[in-house]
Structure 1
Amino acid sequence: MKGSDSPPDAEPSVLGEPPVFNAVDISEQTGVDIEEARRLWRALGFPTTGLEAAFSPADSEALSTIHEIVESGLIDLDTAVNLTRGVGQTMARLADWEVASLAQVIDEEDATGAGDLLRVLDAMGKPFERLLIYAWRRHLAAAAARVQALRANEEDLNTVQLTVGFADIVSFTELSNRLSEERIGDLVELFESRCSDVVSSQHGRVIKSIGDSVLFVNGDPIRAYDTADGIINVVGRDSRMPDVRVGLASGSVVMRLGDVFGPPVNLAARLTAVARRNRTIIDAATAELLPADEFETRRLPGRPVRGFGVVEPVAVRRI
């Protein structure tokens, strides 16, 4: 039994109800085969369970909803699993982000105990849910518009021509060894937020952040260059921030499950190792897409690039 001063359990506090069903109960209630139910549960990012009570009525309702969509014939089970995995991965990161941000605020206010965090989460629950639905709809509309544009041009819906950018903090490993954990966390958060602001302002999209680097894409190579230049301005040229390098590469990339794949992605990342501090290096394909009356490009000596053989990087600046 927990003591009177023990922090409350987060799960029933946040979910509003305790787990009362096991996997067999859920399967019987929803009519979903137990292996299919476990497959969907794993796709959400949670471990499968045995006969212990691990599911709430809300879990049963969610599984029933997915099952009804599949049974309607609108999508098949594999597609449902893919969508569920996307929801699980996205929500897991969002939940970590939300809790970490709120916990930091609570710590700064000298509040104590997990109960304070749960109280804040409860108070923010409904407003944040409304924001979540709003943001999802806005991004859904933007994604649908991109697909409609590809269809109108009779292009492949998964393979598109883009300029890929990779922004990287210089000497991050050495930097992280010198700074405190709190300071390096603050620095990475500021780096990611500034990069995201610049990418959005240039109509691009951040694909993912990987600690000391940010991967972004843009359909317009000029805007991609302006993004790179903007990141250097707000990060590399700020004396309080570390230096950065940016690589740009253009070509055909595969877009799948919110990520991008293909040679331009890998080459953009490799080019950051070639770039000088607070400079942008591009590939030949991007150089050809930039108007000669607006940009000055200069081929650099060829050098071996892992996975690409000998590559001639291109230095670029706006005239």
Structure 2
Amino acid sequence: MHGTLSTVQVDPRIEASGLLDGLDGSARAERAELISWMLTEGFSVEHLRGSFSPMLLASRRLIGDDATYVSIRQIAEQTGMEIDLVRRALRAFGLPNVDDPDEQVYLRADGAALMHTARFLEMGFDAEDLLHATRILSEGLSNAAEVMRYAALAAVLKPGATELDIARGTEQVVSQAAPLLGPMIEDMLLVALRHAMETEAVNASERVSGTPLPGARMIAVAFADLVGFTRLGEDVEPAELERLAHRLAMMARDVAQPPVRFVKAIGDAVMLVCPEPEPLLRALLDLAGAAEADAEFPRLRLGMSYGEAVSRAGDWFGGSVNLASRVTGAARPGAVLVAEQAQEAIGDVDGIRWSFVGARHLKGIRGDTKLFRARPAD
């Protein structure tokens, strides 16, 4: 059938619609076949005319694209939120900004998603905290959505597939996958939330009691993350981002020779621990050097602390873990930053030279933290 598409007689109604303008040969025949099927599926000519990719309309309809658009004012009326807050929430969702509150440019399903924001506000959540959480969640889900889109298309983009084959294939894949997405994302978010709440519980108990929790012991903790990972997501294919994150995890495992232990990879970051700070610092310097030696690999930020922490189920919790994360965030690209207690515990040793960076106020850390940069002595 595919070899004779260019000779298929085109329905005069489709010819008159203008949807085939600019196409000829097999491309024209494929598009005509696609449009004919979509009209029988209930799509209108107007809907097809307004789409950049008619092939994906059937699958998009399954996830909320009903071709109905609403304005910011209508969303505000539906959610009970102020217009300015609706506008900011839409931006936090990753949607474009529109100045005219009465211009109907947002899909009805996109506007309905703000009902969740409204409910959290009714519960007493701070609007700024909620917008910040929404923005972070949206950034992560945008990357996940790109990977899912790529996987769905890869499943149906077979040699010789026509536009109709692709439309039907993606509709079938999405119809099967869409019901699974909500429960999967909910479960994964709850996993992360349980972990975050346990971490906060340990930190809060330390703050209240002023002493480490039972079972806490001295441990050196370090993180390394890819510089500009969020920006890279705008310019690099999802598969390449996944490759970079996997490469970082492999590099971290390579330098994590006993007594240094690789704990986990968290998106664009890795976590390492060691009972003694010096071996961990040397591992961080090796990791930084490996990243610098690879011209195709992004630069890293690396940070380290030394203090009391609690081990549970192979992970670590406590103030020193939080401090190591904050120190990492304060590091410049390519730099290995070390908190004061870790620097004092290591002291002057062969192969490492120190420079004092300064005292910084780090988010969530009481007082100022003195930071030192470590470099290989050679």
Report TM bin, short chain: 0.5 to 0.7
**Mapping of 1:234-273 within 5 angstroms?**
248-251=302-305, 261-262=326-327, 264-267=328-331, 269-271=333-335
Q: Which amino acid aligns with 1:17?
A: D
Query: Are residues 1:26 and 2:75 paired?
Result: yes
Q: Is 2:222–2:271's contact at 8 Å kept on the other side of the alignment?
A: yes
CA distance in 1, matches of 2:107, 2:238: 35
Q: Is 2:94–2:135's contact at 8 Å kept on the other side of the alignment?
A: yes
Q: Secondary structure of the residue that 1:47 maps to in structure 2? A: coil
Q: Secondary structure of the residue that 2:149 maps to in structure 1? A: helix
CA distance in 2, matches of 1:87, 1:243: 26
Change (3 A) 1:260 1:298: same
Aligned equivalent of 2:189, options 136, 140, 144: 136
CA distance in 2, matches of 1:145, 1:109: 50
Query: Are residues 1:86 and 2:142 paired?
Result: no
Q: Is 2:70–2:106's contact at 8 Å kept on the other side of the alignment?
A: yes
| Per-residue deviation, 1:121 | 2.7
CA distance in 2, matches of 1:135, 1:98: 16
Q: Which residue of 2 aligns with 1:7?
A: 55
Query: Are residues 1:192 and 2:235 paired?
Result: no
Query: Are residues 1:298 and 2:350 paired?
Result: yes
Q: Is 1:250–1:285's contact at 8 Å kept on the other side of the alignment?
A: no
| Per-residue deviation, 1:304 | 11
Aligned equivalent of 2:224, options 162, 166, 170: 166
| Per-residue deviation, 1:311 | 5.2
| Per-residue deviation, 1:223 | 10
Q: Secondary structure of the residue that 1:15 maps to in structure 2? A: coil
Change (3 A) 1:284 1:111: farther
Q: Which amino acid aligns with 1:270?
A: G
Q: Which amino acid aligns with 2:334?
A: R
| Per-residue deviation, 1:91 | 1.5
Q: Which residue of 1 aligns with 2:264?
A: 204
Quick check: which has more Rg, 1 or 2? 2
| Per-residue deviation, 1:138 | 1.1
Q: Secondary structure of the residue that 1:32 maps to in structure 2? A: coil
Q: Is 1:163–1:248's contact at 8 Å kept on the other side of the alignment?
A: no
Q: Which residue of 1 aligns with 2:174?
A: 121
Q: Which residue of 1 aligns with 2:3?
A: none
Change (3 A) 1:7 1:138: same
Aligned equivalent of 1:38, options 87, 92, 116: 87
Q: Which residue of 2 aligns with 1:54?
A: 105
CA distance in 1, matches of 2:146, 2:63: 14
Change (3 A) 1:203 1:13: same
Change (3 A) 1:119 1:109: farther
| Per-residue deviation, 1:107 | 3.9
Q: Is 2:343–2:372's contact at 8 Å kept on the other side of the alignment?
A: no
| Per-residue deviation, 1:140 | 1.1
- Post-superposition Cα deviations, 1:197-249, rounded to whole Å, max 9, x if no partner, equal 777x943352x53xxxxx3345x34599789969x89xx7xxxxx89998753
| Per-residue deviation, 1:33 | 1.8
Change (3 A) 1:41 1:284: closer
Q: Secondary structure of the residue that 1:204 maps to in structure 2? A: strand
Q: Is 2:69–2:106's contact at 8 Å kept on the other side of the alignment?
A: yes
Change (3 A) 1:78 1:247: closer
The count of residues paired between Structure 1 and Structure 2 equals: 272
Q: Which amino acid aligns with 2:264?
A: G
Q: CA RMSD in A?
A: 5.2
Aligned equivalent of 1:98, options 127, 148, 154: 148
CA distance in 2, matches of 1:164, 1:53: 49
Query: Are residues 1:70 and 2:121 paired?
Result: yes
TM-score by length of 2: 0.53
Change (3 A) 1:47 1:98: same
Structure 2 gaps, min length 5: 1-16, 21-31, 35-53, 209-218, 228-234, 254-260, 291-295, 306-318, 358-369
Structure 1 gaps, min length 5: 156-160, 170-180, 210-214, 237-241, 273-280
| Per-residue deviation, 1:186 | 6.1
